[in-house]
Chain A
Amino acid sequence: MFDVIIRDASLRFKNHCVFENLNLILKGGKWTCLLGGSGVGKTCLLRLIAGLPAGETTGEILCQDGFPVSHRIAWMAQQDLLLPWFSVLENITLGQRLRRSFTDIVKRHPLIPPEVEDQAMSILEKVGLTEKARVLPQHLSGGQRQRAALARTLMENRPLVLMDEPFGALDAITRLNLQDLACELLENRTVLLITHDPLEALRLGHDVYHLRGYPARLTDAITPPGKTPRSLEDNGIMMLQGKLLDRLRHESFDEKPVKGEQ
């Protein structure tokens, strides 16, 4: 699995500089978590990596293997982004629909070929939504909707997964369950997870960064010990969470580094 290198990334909106000369390495097959307050530029960084419009940008996004990062990304946003007119199955195979060639349409190839449907059903089974495959998203609960969004991300089968606070709108129990599920199903993929929640970052991240300041800068990485998803009973994790929470509440540059930062 390849590393993704973000080199000298800068972003500005007219006269406002969000961040400049930002460098970050997303380690191949690992989870990198990015913490930070609202409006600091986390989502903008994610959009920049995904090649989505995000102000005036400069910098390079490179893959270690030399291939471009585009078409190797799966995107999971805070909202589930399920299309209300498609069933769950149609939603998770949306990528296949959108990539249908003109020839496929002219030759009337099926919208969801049998092999794609089998794959989709197997993913739905993993996320526990087999029974809901044919229903519209409006009939799903919040947790189920986010599981469907996770299934769609898995269906894309991309090596790099960008997640923008995907569990932010869920209740505490559903969030923990989905964190475990995502950790299991996205194993060996390179993941960049943006979150407001230090505990989520510490449970899931191999490297945890904090983006802060104006213009924003990245702190050194915190590398929590142990296998992910880390247990809530781990005292070390809970202590780190406390310190990170404290730092998030009083964001400034002259604070002492949190123990565990490299």
Chain B
Amino acid sequence: MKDAIKPFIVFLGLLILWHTLVIVFDMPDYILPGPGAVAQSMVENASLLWEHTLVTLSEMLMGLFLGVLMGIILALILVYFTALRPWLLPPLLITQAIPVFALAPILMLWFGYGMTSKVVMTILVIFFPVVTCCYDGLRHTHQGWLDMAQTMGGNRFAILRNIRWPAALPALASGLRVAVVVAPIGAVVGEWVGSSAGLGYLMLQANARLWVDQMFAALTVLAFCSVTLYYTTDRLLRRLIPWQPETSQE
């Protein structure tokens, strides 16, 4: 069976499980609407959902792009400017020690209710896995490769470009996979705290009006976006890093 079909089978299985739960426990619509009701809500509110999905997706993608870029730059600084390492690591850890939920109101205050605060929130959520994975990859380059490069008279930049960077890519790819999965957390939390658009905002509005089916519709779209983003990234990374060792194949 082709790997591409498997997620759809899982999705179908979850739908059946959901439907069964609703029937078996006789769930009222205001607690857990069935997949049919949610699908109907999705169709009825298609344009509304699309509009808000575009907002959340833009926040996620912008946050991902900037977060990954900044994460890579910081990892390079940590590897190449060892004197700065003790000064940079504590603030990096502090950004992770404080829950993003606690930071959200402050970010709203600083960056306003527009897209910026959600992008910053997304950056905060994905920054750490990207930095740590990239940093780990860069500092664990095979010593033999570095020795050989030194005897060949390679300069630091050439060694980074041709050896250290490609060697770090599999580790960075792991960080990216985590980043694309957690990116929606940053965007949606930001929207919950204060916004006028986005799937998080839509969920909050639907919740206040007890439109539970619309809430679940927004949630389903969000889950679909996350899963699609993950598989697209994974496929892209596999194609870009064909030498990445994979030893779990049967």
Judge whether A97 and B151 touch: CB under 8 Å.
Answer: no
Judge whether B158 and A83 touch: CB under 8 Å.
Answer: no
Judge whether A74 and B158 touch: CB under 8 Å.
Answer: no
Mask for B131-172, Cβ within 8 A of A = 1, else 0?
000000000001011011111111100110011001001000
Judge whether B144 and A84 touch: CB under 8 Å.
Answer: no
Judge whether A83 and B151 touch: CB under 8 Å.
Answer: no
Q: What size tier do the contact residues of chain B reach?
A: 20 to 34
Mask for B46-84, Cβ within 8 A of A = 1, else 0?
000000000000000000000000000000000000000
Considering the complex, which residues of chain B in the window 4-28 have a beta carbon less than 8 Å from any beta carbon of chain A?
A: none
Please measure, in the bound complex, the distance between the C-alpha atom of A97 and the C-alpha atom of B161, giving whole angstroms.
10
- Shortest CB–CB separation between residue B212 and chain A, in angstroms? 50
Contacts of B153 in A (CB 8 A): 71, 95, 98-99
Please measure, in the bound complex, the distance between the C-alpha atom of A73 and the C-alpha atom of B148, giving whole angstroms.
10
Judge whether B151 and A74 touch: CB under 8 Å.
Answer: yes
* A218 interface hit (Cβ, 8 Å): no
Please measure, in the bound complex, the distance between the C-alpha atom of A52 and the C-alpha atom of B149, giving whole angstroms.
11
Judge whether B151 and A75 touch: CB under 8 Å.
Answer: yes
Contacts of B158 in A (CB 8 A): 97-100
- Shortest CB–CB separation between residue B168 and chain A, in angstroms? 11
* A79 interface hit (Cβ, 8 Å): yes
* A136 interface hit (Cβ, 8 Å): yes
Judge whether A136 and B152 touch: CB under 8 Å.
Answer: no
Chain A, residue nearest B154 (CB): A98
* A248 interface hit (Cβ, 8 Å): no
Judge whether B151 and A98 touch: CB under 8 Å.
Answer: no
* A77 interface hit (Cβ, 8 Å): yes
Q: What size tier do the contact residues of chain A reach?
A: 20 to 34
* A232 interface hit (Cβ, 8 Å): no
Judge whether B144 and A98 touch: CB under 8 Å.
Answer: no
Contact of B152 among A47, A51, A99 (CB under 8 A): A99
Contact of A94 among B162, B169, B242 (CB under 8 A): B162
Contact of B155 among A86, A98, A156 (CB under 8 A): A98
Please measure, in the bound complex, the distance between the C-alpha atom of A71 and the C-alpha atom of B154, giving whole angstroms.
10
Chain B, residue nearest A74 (CB): B151
* B30 interface hit (Cβ, 8 Å): no
Contacts of B154 in A (CB 8 A): 95, 98-99
Chain B, residue nearest A52 (CB): B147
Given A99-B154, A100-B158; A75-B148 close (CB under 8 Å): yes
Judge whether A98 and B159 touch: CB under 8 Å.
Answer: yes
How would you classify the secondary structure of chain B's contact residues: helix, strand, loop or mixed? Answer: helix
- Shortest CB–CB separation between residue A136 and chain B, in angstroms? 6
Please measure, in the bound complex, the distance between the C-alpha atom of A52 and the C-alpha atom of B68, giving whole angstroms.
34
* B243 interface hit (Cβ, 8 Å): yes
Judge whether B147 and A83 touch: CB under 8 Å.
Answer: no
Judge whether A83 and B242 touch: CB under 8 Å.
Answer: no
Considering the complex, which residues of chain B in the window 226-250 have a beta carbon less than 8 Å from any beta carbon of chain A?
A: 241-243
Contact of B162 among A74, A75, A81, A97 (CB under 8 A): A97
* A138 interface hit (Cβ, 8 Å): yes
Judge whether B152 and A156 touch: CB under 8 Å.
Answer: yes
Given A97-B158, A136-B242; A85-B166 close (CB under 8 Å): yes
Judge whether A98 and B162 touch: CB under 8 Å.
Answer: yes
- Shortest CB–CB separation between residue A19 and chain B, in angstroms? 20
Contact of B145 among A71, A74, A83, A97 (CB under 8 A): A83
Judge whether B162 and A83 touch: CB under 8 Å.
Answer: yes
Contact of A98 among B142, B149, B241, B242 (CB under 8 A): B149
- Shortest CB–CB separation between residue B148 and chain A, in angstroms? 5
Can you list 27 A-B contacts with CB-CB less than 8 angstroms, sorted by A residue number?
A50-B151, A51-B151, A52-B150, A52-B151, A74-B151, A75-B147, A77-B144, A77-B147, A81-B148, A83-B145, A83-B163, A85-B166, A85-B169, A85-B241, A85-B243, A94-B148, A95-B152, A95-B153, A97-B158, A98-B153, A98-B158, A98-B162, A99-B158, A100-B158, A136-B242, A136-B243, A162-B151
Q: Across the A-B interface, give the 6 residue pairs with the lowest CB-CB distance, nearest first.
A: A98-B154, A84-B243, A75-B151, A95-B152, A85-B166, A98-B158
Instruction: Kindly list 5 other residue pairs between chains A and B, CB separation below 8 angstroms, not including A52-B150, A52-B151, A81-B145.
Output: A94-B162, A95-B153, A98-B158, A99-B158, A100-B158
